[in-house]
Structure formats: C-alpha cells, structure tokens
Structure 1
C-alpha cells in the first residue's frame, strides 16, 4: 500500500494505463474493447450506464472526492489558508489557465474545435508531483509548495468548468435534494466517533451514493457530487477516508479512467488533416502552461515582497514548474470527453492531443527539473 501512496509509482501506473489503452485501440482487440466500453450495466429499465460512463461518472467521482478533501485541508490548514499565501500561486494559476486558452484559440477560433478551449487548462497533481519526486532531488521545498498550491487552484478551475460549462437541462428538484443530503452527510461526519464508527460509516456511504445519484439525474456532471461531499465532510474523518481510499484511487480508479479515455484509434491521415482540436491541445499544454505559469509566476513572486529580500524561486525554477503544469492527463482527458461529447472524431483527436502534449510536458519537465536539481546540489556541495 505504501508504494501506491508514493509520488512516483502511481504516475508510472497512470502513464502505463494510457499507453496500454492507445495500443489496444489500435490493435485487433479494438472492437472487443469498444464493445465492453459501450456495454450497458445496471438495473434494466431503472438505471443503466455504459461501462465507460460508470468509469467517467462513477469511479471518477471518488477521485474528485479525494481532491476536494485535499483542497479543504489546504484552504483551512495548508498552503492556501490565507489570502497572502494564496495570492502568488493564484496569479500563476491564472496565467497557467489564460495563456493555454488563448493559444488553443489561435488554432481553433472560428471552427467547431473552439468548444475544446477548457481542455488544456488542467494540471494533473499526482503526475506532476511524481515527476518532481523522480527528478527533483535537491530542489528547494518552495518549488514543491508552489506547484502543489498552483495545481490545487487549477483543480478548482477545472471543477468550475465541469459544473458550469457541461451542465444542461438542470432538474433543480433533484439538485436541491442532493444539496440537502450533502448537509446531512456533513452533519453525520461530525457525529462520527470510534464507538459508532460502523453504523455511521454505513450511513455516510449510503448518503454519499444517494447524493451521487441525485446529482447525476439532475443534469449536473456526477463528479461534482464527489467535490461537494469532500468539501462538506468533517476534516478529521475526511483525511482518514482520503488516506484509506488513496491506494485504490491510484491503483484502480485513475488507471481505469486513463485506459478507457485513451481507447482512441490514431487517425490514418497526414498531420495537415488533423483538426485544430489536436494541434491546439498539443501546443497549449506544454507551451501555454510553461509560458503562462513561468511569466505570471515571476510577476507573482514579486508582489508584496520587501525590496531587500530575494524571491524564494528564480525564473528557471518557474520554467520547471510551468513544464510540470503542462502535464494534463486526468482532468484534461475528462474535459476532452465532455467538450466533444457529441463529436467522436474531435473528441478522439483532442484526446490524442492531451496524451501527446502531456508526454511532451513530461519530457520537458524531467529535463528542466533535473537541470535545476543538479544546480542546487552543486551549489550545496560547494558551500559545505
């Protein structure tokens, strides 16, 4: 279990699952895999979803629950628990969202691909921290703190996009009932004690499932249920739940989603025939994120700093952080599925753009992080 809680191993599993999905989708197994993904499972005539949607709407809600628990902790006790702490990564995150959007629209403006503009705005926290852990021995802790805060704020943006942009025909009765049950969930979590752990845990699970069902049926994307529950839960049991769930999220939920999302046939066309959705994401993730985060981060680290003190990070450090921010994967893959839900060809090309852009970001980040880590280790060796 400790291996699945490490920063490095889950990132490798996630990448391996995505690569495997791409291989299967372009092999003789493609038809069988597609049939399984689109097979419906559930109670016939009552509630059924395809296997792909069970993964995307159901299992991924667990991932968003864990993200929301971490977000709640950071906002109350962590790196974002004051306006001063949040200001600098917030400015960097804004640049890391706006520049990729603008760069994407340079390719896609005026075409049907323009709907995919939210795709390159996300950062995969687990993957970025995994690359940092593998290649960043010797880097200042300020860089990890900056990246973590930045990625969490990116997640907030992604959650808002999912909640606002990909919601249609809202059933406010269902949504209201879900909101009431979220309050009940929060109340029960605050009454959880060791002596009543079993019945209250069962009740929390039952209420959580009911919230997910109501949100799904309301027309709001079901992963928002995970966010609401994670934010509403009392912090101590929430952190305990996160600790217990983390290995299963890393071992099953995220690899299954990456495999399912990457089941994309590579188009047998020349590069010039690929849509702006592919090129926009391919460029916006590694270039837009790196430039947006590095430049706005450089500005942010000078906001409110006394003139006689040096900033905790220098521009080359921010370039490394920006390249890490370009690793989209999980949330970018989800945004790709949602943005082009009715256009399979565009969705597939955008997904390929996410995979290729994220791999380019991994290579760029590994190189920049390694160079910066080597420099810091060299400085330390010379001063000791």
Structure 2
C-alpha cells in the first residue's frame, strides 16, 4: 500500500496503463476490447444504465475528483494557498497555462468545426506531473513542488468548471438540487461529534449520502464527477484527510490506471499525417508548447510585480511549465466529452493528448533532471561521502 501512496510508482503505473490501452487497441484483439468497453451495464430497478467505459469515467473517476478536492480544501485552509501572496504566483501561472493553450488551439483549428475542443489542452494531470517531478527531481527545493501542486490544482479547477458548464446536457434542475442537498447533508453529518459506538452507523450514512449525491448529479445531466468535487470540498477536513489516506492506494492503483487504459483504447487512424484532424494537431501543439509558454511567460510577468515572495528562478519555472503540459487524466476526459458526438475526431483528439503529454513528459524530464543536477552540484556531496573521500 505504501508503494501506491508514493509519488513515483503511481505515475509509472498510469503511463503503463495508457500505453497498454493504446497498444492493445491496435492489435488483433483491439476491436473486441473496444467493443467490450461499450457494453452496457445497468442497475436493476433504476434508470442508471452506463457502458463500462462510462462507469469508469463517470463513476470511478469521481473518486479521483474527490481526492483532488480534498487536497484543494486543505491547501485553501491550512496549506500554501491560505496565504494570498503565495497563492498569487501559481494563480497567475495557471491563468497563463490556460489562456495560451486555448489561443494556440483556436489558432490551429480556425476555420474548422473542431474549434469546440478548445478546453482539452487546459488541464494538468496532478498525479502524473508530481510523479515526474519525484522521479527526476531528486535534490530540487520543496518550493518547486508546492508551486507545481498549487498550479496543477488550480488547473484542475478550471477543468472541473469547464466540465460542469460546457458539457452538461439538458440539465434537470430538480435532480441537481437534490444532489446539492445530499452533498450538504453529507458535509453536515461529517462534522457531527460521534462517539465510538456511533462511528459505524455514521460511516454507513455518509456512504449512502455520497452515493445518492452521485446518482442525483448523474441523472441531472451534469457530469457525475462533479459529485466528487462537492463531497471533497464539503467534507470535514479531518475526516476527509483520513478518507483520502484510505482511498489513495485504490485511486492510484485502480481508478487512474483503469481510466487511462480505457481512455487510451484508440485505434490509430490509417491516414496520412496530412489527413489528421486539426483537433489532433491543435492538442498536440497546445499541450506541450502552450503550457510551457503560458506558464513560464505568465510567471515571469507576475514575478516582476510580486516582489520576492514565493519567487522561483526562471529555469525552475521552465521546468514547471513543461510539467504543466502533461495533461493525461483531465485532458483525456475533456477530449472524450468535447467530441462525444464524433468518434473519429474524439479518437484523434485523444491521440493528441497522449502524444502531446508524451512530448511534455520527455521535455519536463530533461529540464527537471538538469535543474536537479545543478542543485545537487551546488549542495556538494553528503557529509559522510565528503568524510570518506
């Protein structure tokens, strides 16, 4: 379990799952596996009837958004984001990391009907970006991780808002209100003082309220992962952190790899590069290039006016900007939602996410390794090595 709570192993697992999905989709059994992912599975006696891929993206992925929201709640109340001065630079960086990729995507897809995919390159995969930093960044100052964490969480907020606002179809306000009320009841119950004997009944009630919230949000037409956001932001922080600790191995070891595998089940189109959709090229370029330019440029501008509070060397900012281009989880979800009505364009946009994230992965690995080596060189060898030399 400790391995699944580490920063490195879940990142490797996520990448391996995405690679496995892409490889299997393009083998002889690929068509059968893709067809299996579309198998409808319903709950008897309820209107809920989802495909296996939607059970993953609408159901299991809500746990990931719950985890992100719990971490966000902590950062806003007790962590680095509670100080507005320290939160300002990551916020400015996040803004640049959203606006510039959107601008690049729209410019590349101008004149086509795939411009509607502009939200796809706005997101940063929190778990994977931190994992890359952990793998290649031994020796880097902790401030770099804090900056990246704040930036990535804010990026995910943008992704969550875009999912809620842009991809909610035929919203049933009654169902949505019921979901909000269940989430409010969940938040209130999580804050009640409970004795030892009352823990089990309260835990059962919390699970039932969480499930009810998810069902109502799903039936409202708003993307069901929003239920995870409501529950994560509203839950009592102490209980939320304990719950996150218990769920973290399952999210890292099962939920995220399953989603990466499912989303990457894409048969590579048998077309020339010139016949690929502008959506592919837009995402491919906007993720690694747009994120790097947007985050680094906005941070450079912000640091001109922010004084010395929370400042990073520009070379470190470049490394963080490259890490921001690792979109994966939320970008894959946004691609699937933006082009849900056009499977061919959706698959090409997903390929763009995978390829763009891979480019950002290589670039960020090089930049982070370079900066880490410089910091280790400045620190010199450990004391015991110096004594033995």
- Pair 1:361 & 2:360 matched: yes
Counterparts of 1:136-215 in structure 2 under 5 Å? 136-191=137-192, 193=194, 195=196, 196-215=198-217
Q: Deviations over 1:209-247 (max 9, x none)?
A: 011000000110000000001111010000000000000
- Pair 1:320 & 2:322 matched: no
Structure 1 residues not aligned, in runs of 5+: none
Instruction: Specify which of 233, 236, 239 is matched with residue 237 of structure 1.
Output: 239
Query: Is the contact between residue 142 and residue 312 of structure 1 (CA under 8 Å) also seen in structure 2?
Result: no
CA 1:311–1:247 in 2, change beyond 3 Å: closer, same or farther? Answer: closer
Whole-angstrom CA distance in 1 between matches of 2:276 and 2:41? 34
Query: Is the contact between residue 88 and residue 303 of structure 1 (CA under 8 Å) also seen in structure 2?
Result: no
Residue 324 of structure 1 and its aligned partner are, at CA, apart by 0.3
Whole-angstrom CA distance in 1 between matches of 2:266 and 2:185? 41
Query: Is the contact between residue 80 and residue 87 of structure 2 (CA under 8 Å) also seen in structure 1?
Result: yes
Whole-angstrom CA distance in 2 between matches of 1:224 and 1:267? 32
Whole-angstrom CA distance in 2 between matches of 1:382 and 1:230? 43
Residue 300 of structure 1 and its aligned partner are, at CA, apart by 1.8
Residue 174 of structure 1 and its aligned partner are, at CA, apart by 0.7
Query: Is the contact between residue 69 and residue 231 of structure 1 (CA under 8 Å) also seen in structure 2?
Result: yes
Match of 1:380 in 2: 379
- Pair 1:247 & 2:246 matched: no
Whole-angstrom CA distance in 1 between matches of 2:171 and 2:339? 19
Query: Is the contact between residue 86 and residue 309 of structure 2 (CA under 8 Å) also seen in structure 1?
Result: no
Residue 377 of structure 1 and its aligned partner are, at CA, apart by 1.3
Instruction: Specify which of 274, 279, 296 is matched with residue 276 of structure 2.
Output: 274
Structure 2 residues not aligned, in runs of 5+: 384-389
Whole-angstrom CA distance in 2 between matches of 1:315 and 1:240? 37
Whole-angstrom CA distance in 2 between matches of 1:203 and 1:303? 49
Where 1:41 maps in the other structure, the secondary structure is strand
Q: Deviations over 1:139-168 (max 9, x none)?
A: 121111111110011011011101101112
Match of 2:386 in 1: none
Where 2:42 maps in the other structure, the secondary structure is strand
Match of 1:370 in 2: 369
Moved over 4 A (4+): none
Residue 186 of structure 1 and its aligned partner are, at CA, apart by 0.6
Match of 2:221 in 1: 219
Mean Cα displacement is larger for which, 14-23 or 140-149?
Answer: 140-149
Whole-angstrom CA distance in 1 between matches of 2:110 and 2:233? 36
Whole-angstrom CA distance in 2 between matches of 1:311 and 1:122? 23
Q: Structure 2 length normalisation: TM-score?
A: 0.95
Query: Is the contact between residue 298 and residue 314 of structure 1 (CA under 8 Å) also seen in structure 2?
Result: no
Residue 312 of structure 1 and its aligned partner are, at CA, apart by 3.4
Counterparts of 1:99-110 in structure 2 under 5 Å? 99-110=100-111
Whole-angstrom CA distance in 2 between matches of 1:180 and 1:45? 23
Where 1:278 maps in the other structure, the secondary structure is helix
Where 1:302 maps in the other structure, the secondary structure is helix
Residue 45 of structure 1 and its aligned partner are, at CA, apart by 6.7
Q: Structure 1 length normalisation: TM-score?
A: 0.97
Match of 1:65 in 2: 66
Would you say how many aligned residue pairs link Structure 1 and Structure 2? 381
Match of 2:115 in 1: 114
Residue 382 of structure 1 and its aligned partner are, at CA, apart by 9.0
Whole-angstrom CA distance in 1 between matches of 2:203 and 2:268? 45
Q: Deviations over 1:16-49 (max 9, x none)?
A: 0000000111011112212211111123573211
Whole-angstrom CA distance in 2 between matches of 1:114 and 1:216? 27
Whole-angstrom CA distance in 2 between matches of 1:97 and 1:240? 32
CA 1:311–1:83 in 2, change beyond 3 Å: closer, same or farther? Answer: closer
Q: Deviations over 1:113-150 (max 9, x none)?
A: 10110000100011111111111111121111111110
CA-based RMSD of the aligned residues comes to: 1.5
Match of 2:331 in 1: 332
Q: Deviations over 1:167-223 (max 9, x none)?
A: 121111111111111111011101253512111111000010011000000110000
Match of 2:91 in 1: 90
